[in-house]
Structure 1
Amino acid sequence: MNEVNHPQTPSEQPSVDPQHKHVAAGDSLSKIAALLKNYDGQDKRPIPPLEQWDPQFCGSMNLTVKANGEWWHEGSKINRERLIRLFSTVLWREDDGQYYLKTPVEKLLIEVEDAPLLVTRIEKVCTDGKDYLTCITQTDDVVVIDEQHPVFLREYAGEIRPYINVRWNLDALIHRNAFYHLLNEGEFLEQDGQTVVKFSSGDFEFCLNSEALAE
Structure 2
Amino acid sequence: MSNLEQLEKLLKDQRGQPPIEKWQPELSGDIDIRLCADGRWIHEGGEIKRHELVKLFASILRREEDGEYYLVTPVEKWRVQVEDLPLLVVDFEVAEADQSGAQRIVVKTNVDSWFELGENHPLKVEADKNTDEPRPAVLTRHGLWARINRASFYRLVELAEQDGEELVLRTSGGVFSLGRLS
TM-score (norm 1): 0.70
What is the match of residue 172 of structure 1? 146
Q: Aligned residue for 1:134? A: 106
The answer on 1:160 being equivalent to 2:134 is yes
Percent identity for Structure 1 against Structure 2:
35
Q: Identify the residue that residue 4 of structure 2 maps to in structure 1.
A: none
Output the CA distance in 2 between the equivalents of 1:83 and 1:91.
13
**1:92 aligned residue:** 62
- State which drifts further: 177-186 or 197-206: 197-206
Classify the secondary structure of the residue corresponding to 2:157.
helix
Q: Which runs of 5+ in 2 are unaligned?
A: 1-8
Aligned twin of 2:80:
110
After TM superposition, give the deviation of residue 169 of structure 1 in Å. Answer: 1.1
Residue 175 of structure 2 is aligned with which of 205, 209, 214? 205
Q: 1:54 to 1:125 in 2, by over 3 A?
A: same
State whether residues 45 and 89 of structure 1, in contact with CA within 8 Å, keep that contact through their aligned partners in structure 2: no
For the 8 Å contact 2:62–2:72, the answer to whether it is kept is yes
Shift of 1:171: 0.5
Determine the C-alpha separation between the residues in 2 that align with 1:54 and 1:70. 27
Q: Distance in 1 between the 2:27 and 2:150 partners?
A: 36
Q: How many residues align?
A: 169
Say whether the 8 Å CA contact 1:164–1:172 is kept in structure 2. Answer: yes
In structure 2, the partner of 1:151 is 123
| 2:52 is equivalent to residue 82 of structure 1 | yes
Measured at CA, do residues 156 and 97 of structure 1 come closer, stay the same or move farther in structure 2, by a change above 3 Å?
farther
Contact persistence 2:71–2:79 (CA under 8 A): yes
Give 1:125 deviation, angstroms. 2.4
Rounded to whole Å, the distance in 2 between the matches of 1:91 and 1:156 is: 26
Within 2, Cα distance between the matches of 1:58 and 1:168? 19
Native 8 Å contact 1:124 1:133 kept in 2: yes
Are positions 1:182 and 2:156 aligned together? yes
- Note if contact 1:153-1:163 (Cα within 8 Å) is conserved in structure 2: yes
For 2:106, give the aligned amino acid. Answer: T
RMSD of aligned alpha carbons = 2.5
Note if contact 2:61-2:142 (Cα within 8 Å) is conserved in structure 1: no
* Residue aligned with 1:62, SS: strand
Q: Deviations over 1:45-102 (max 9, x none)?
A: 8421111111231111110001121111111112211111111000011101111100
8 Å CA contact 1:122, 1:181 repeated in 2: no
Distance change in 2, residues 1:3/1:115 (3 Å): farther
Q: Name the aligned partner's letter for residue 138 of structure 1.
A: N
1:67 equivalenced with 2:41 (yes/no) = no
Report the secondary structure of 1:56's partner residue. Answer: coil
Matched, 1:125 2:95: yes
Quick one: structure 1 residues 78 and 138, their matched pair in 2 at CA, closer, same or farther if it must change by over 3 Å? same
Q: Rg: which structure is higher?
A: 1
